[in-house]
Amino acid sequence: MPRVQALRGKAQEQAHTVVIDGTAVELVLRRSARRSFALQVDHRGARVAVPLRTPLGEVERFVHSHGRWLLDRLQARAAAPAVPVLKAAEGAAVPLLGRPLTLRLHPGRSTRWRTGADGGEELQLPTAVDPLRALLRALQARALAWFQGRVEEYCHRLGLEPPPLRLSSARTRWGSCSSRSGIRLHWRLIHLPPALIDYVVAHEVAHLLEMNHSPRFWAVVERLYPDWRAARGALRKAAATLPVIASAPSADSGRFGAED
């Protein structure tokens, strides 16, 4: 029998194989206290998430109902260039706001930003703790500060008070907006050039006026970000090039989108 791994709370993960059109597909089955079903493909392979007590037969029926999509996505990912997996090594580079950030390692427990000899930014990561986790925390802190300023700017253009802002690790969305909880932006946007980040911010801020994707909504987006069509296409291409930080959740770039 497959080994079941207990996760936070009552969530469980186990390996499972489903045969689709004669092809054996290895996937990870995740059961948790959720209400919906979800199927995704990312750098780790195929994953299906279901409510905790879902019978296995029902899980397999759900996977088979999306079998063609699943096989196509697995084939496309196999044919695509490998997504770079970032390692916290001396001299490694990670994109930050579209420019390379050089990583440096140092003994100790603190993380420090500094300017390198070539004028570029460097991030000193401590080796006394997990440097990958330190990198993740540093990037997320930088992301929150940057995104906050951009949300305030676009809200100001519409004459609105900035709503609460939180970071997201969603697997299929760059951002979301709720009248109750405010705006959420994926922290990995911090890898991208500022112009692409601004498109996602403008998209979510526009939802403060129009909680839909009607022509009125896109008119607000165009008012905030006239070149949104080109930015949306560039965003889809950029998603496939972003590095994966091993200790961080990563979305399937093939399904990522600003739309929510």
Per residue in 68-84, pLDDT tens?
999 998 988 777 666 66
Pick from 67, 55, 66: nearest CA to 24: 67
Distance CA 205, CA 159 (A): 11
Evaluate if residue 249 carries a pLDDT over 60. Answer: no
The dihedrals phi and psi of 194, each to the nearest 5 degrees, come to -55, -35
Using CA atoms, how far apart are residues 113 and 136, in angstroms rounded to an integer? 13
Distance CA 148, CA 160 (A): 14
For residues 258 and 199, is the Cβ–Cβ distance under 8 A? Answer: yes
Is the per-residue pLDDT at 225 higher than 90?
yes
Q: Three-state SS for 240?
A: coil
- Least confidently predicted of 43-47, 111-115, 138-142, 152-156: 43-47
Tell me the domain boundaries of the chain: 4-79, 85-245
- Asked if residue 222 has pLDDT above 90, the reply is yes
- DSSP secondary-structure letter at 191? G
pLDDT grade for 242, boundaries at 50, 70 and 90: confident
What is the reported pTM?
A: 0.69
Q: Read off the pLDDT band of 257 (50, 70, 90).
A: very low
Tell me the pLDDT of the chain averaged across its residues.
Answer: 87
Q: Does domain 85-245 have CATH number 3.30.2010.10?
A: yes
Name the residue among 91, 86, 133 with its Cα closest to residue 109: 133
Q: Above 60 in pLDDT, residue 86?
A: yes
Handedness of CA 36, 163, 175, 231 (dihedral sign): positive
By three-state DSSP, how is residue 33 classified? coil
End-to-end CA distance of the chain: 39
11-15, 43-47, 159-163, 165-169: range with lowest mean pLDDT: 43-47
C-alpha triplet 222, 173, 224: angle, nearest 5°: 15
Lowest mean pLDDT among 1-10, 106-115, 199-208, 247-256: 247-256
d(CA 42, CA 66): 16
What local confidence, expressed as pLDDT, does residue 125 receive? 95
Residue 141 Cα to chain centre, angstroms: 15
pLDDT for position 114? 94
